[in-house]
Amino acid sequence: MSFKALPKVELHTHIEGAAPPDFIRGLAKEKNVDLSGIFAADGGYAYRDFWHFLEVYEAATSVLNSPQDYARLTRAVLENCAEAGVVYVETFISPDFCGGRDVSAWRDYLAAIQDAAAEAERDAGITLRGIVTAVRHFGPDAAREVARCAQQTAGGFITGYGMGGDEKSGKQGDFAYAFDMAREAGLKLTTHAGEWNGPDEVRAALDDLRVERIGHGVRAIEDPALVDRLVQDGITLEVCPGSNVFLGVYPDLAAHPIARLRDRGVKVTVSTDDPPFFRTDMVKEYEDLSRQFGWDAADFKALNLTAIEAAFCDDATRERVRKIVEAQDV
Ligand code: ADE
Ligand code: ZN
């Protein structure tokens, strides 16, 4: 069956990571920037491993340097999401890249992104919410400045605060102050953990940052007591199977723990992370999961209900999207 028409809820994307390569190539040409080194012969992004991926990601992002660029990016990204049947999506947005962590510049970038999102909502019926994101390898001081940007713009479109980047850099606990700032501003919290590091990293995210969702979190499977805790505490995992397989966290989907985590009662959801970087989209994710684990439309409907339950949006938005998912025939 085709999964394209299923209404989908996606909790874990990075706005720059969702940039179509053609879009970045076009912007580089307009700005006379030579980015030829980050593209493969077929036009897609090229990199060797996760750490090189982060470098290529930042190189691609270097041509996004005005609010207008981000407005165009938002339109391109939401068009692709809507095409894959996504009706609600949350995306990580970094003040590091949007105005260099300056609050007033950040406001301008955010206004442009929000305008573009409102346009997409009108035209394609897709809803976007933003999670302000620190980049772990930029360090705790930068994360505090990012949290200050988050504080100043919390509410409505900006629903959460999170952290991505190199999980091997520093400790989750180094960022506790920044996460406390965001929590005090009423934001919901998530952090990348248990993608490259093991269960201890997930435990640190829960103990030190007190997040309610975890980006990836899949390596929790290595510690049964931690899996029990995830179930008991109702922590939702933003699982990105295609990303994990493409980057080599697991050799193939058969080895990926998403189905085992789900069978143990963990709240798992499905997202694409940085779709063009991993040559994926939500339809492909569903097709691959269906082929590997036998999941059908009813399974995906249940996953999408879990996802909207864990979405960081206000309750009126949640209710509206939940009805769309619930109306899906299975
Ligand atoms: N930034 C963008 N994609 C990421 C990922 N998969 N892990 C950590 N940081 C990221
Ligand atoms: Zn991510």
Kindly give the distance from the C-alpha atom of residue 164 to the centroid of ligand 2, in angstroms, as a whole number: 6
Whole-angstrom Cα distance, residue 78 to residue 91? 10
Coil, strand or helix: which one is 216?
strand
- Distance, CA of 223 to CA of 202 (rounded, Å): 10
Closest atom of ligand 1 to CA, residue 16: 2
Q: Which domain holds residue 142?
A: 69-326
CATH, residue 156:
3.20.20.140
Which residues have CB under 8 Å from 199's CB, separation 6+? 219, 220, 222, 223, 226
Enzyme catalytic residues: 195
Q: How many domains does the chain have?
A: 1
- Give the pLDDT score at 114: 98
Mean pLDDT of the chain: 98
- Residue 66 has a pLDDT of 98
**pLDDT reading at 1 higher than 80:** no
- Quote the ligand 1 centre to 91 CA distance (angstroms): 12
Model confidence at 281: pLDDT above 80: yes
Q: Is residue 54 part of a domain?
A: no
Return all residues near 50 (Cβ < 8 A) that are at least 6 apart: 196, 247, 248
Q: Burial, 171: exposed, middle or buried (Cβ in 10 Å; 0-12, 13-18, 19+)?
A: middle
Mean local confidence (pLDDT), 118-143 = 98
Write out residues with Cβ below 6 Å of ligand 1. Answer: 14, 17, 57, 164-165, 192, 195, 243, 273-274
In this prediction, residue 317 carries a pLDDT of 98
Ligand nearest the Cα atom of residue 213 = 2
Mean pLDDT to the nearest integer, 82-86: 98
- Ligand 1 centroid vs 224 CA: distance in angstroms? 25
In-domain check, residue 2:
no
Distance 187 CA to ligand 2 centre (A): 18
CA distance 116 to 94: 17
Of 192, 214, 216, 272, best ligand 1 pocket probe by most atoms within 8 Å of the beta carbon: 192
Question: Is 18 part of any domain?
Answer: no
Ligand 1 atom with minimal separation from the 243 CA: 6
Is the pLDDT score of 278 beyond 90? yes
In a domain, 38, yes or no: no
Nearest CA, atom 6, ligand 1? 273
Q: Best substitution site from 54, 58, 243 to test ligand 1's pocket, by max atoms within 8 Å of Cβ?
A: 54
Atom of ligand 1 at shortest range from CA of 17: 2
- pLDDT at 2 (0 to 100): 84
Q: In this structure, what token pair is assigned to residue 12?
A: 């874990």
Residue-level pLDDT at 108 = 98
In a domain, 87, yes or no: yes
Phi, psi of 134 (to 5 degrees): -85, 155
Q: Percent of the chain at pLDDT above 90?
A: 99
Q: Model-level pTM?
A: 0.98
Q: What is the CA radius of gyration of the chain?
A: 18
Number of Cβ atoms within 10 Å of the Cβ of 222: 14
22-43: per-residue pLDDT in tens? 999 999 999 999 999 999 999 9
**Does a structural domain hold residue 34?**
no
Distance of alpha carbon 48 from alpha carbon 196, whole angstroms:
16
- pLDDT tens readout for residues 139-198: 999 999 999 999 999 999 999 999 999 999 999 999 999 999 999 999 999 999 999 999
Residue 6 lies in a domain: no
Q: Number of helices (H) and strands (E), helices first, in the chain?
A: 13, 8
Residue 165 CA: nearest ligand 1 atom is 9
Residue 289 lies in a domain: yes
Rounded Cα gap, residues 233 and 212, in angstroms: 9
Contact predicate 113/74, CB 8 Å: yes
The ligand placed nearest to the CA atom of residue 54 is: 1
Compute the average pLDDT of residues 55-83.
Answer: 98
The ligand that comes nearest to the alpha carbon of residue 197 is: 1
Task: Please tell me the number of the ligand nearest to residue 195's CA.
Answer: 1
Between the CA of 329 and the centroid of ligand 2 the distance, in Å, is 31
Instruction: Measure 274 CA to ligand 2 centroid, in angstroms.
Output: 7
330 band by pLDDT with thresholds 50, 70 and 90: confident
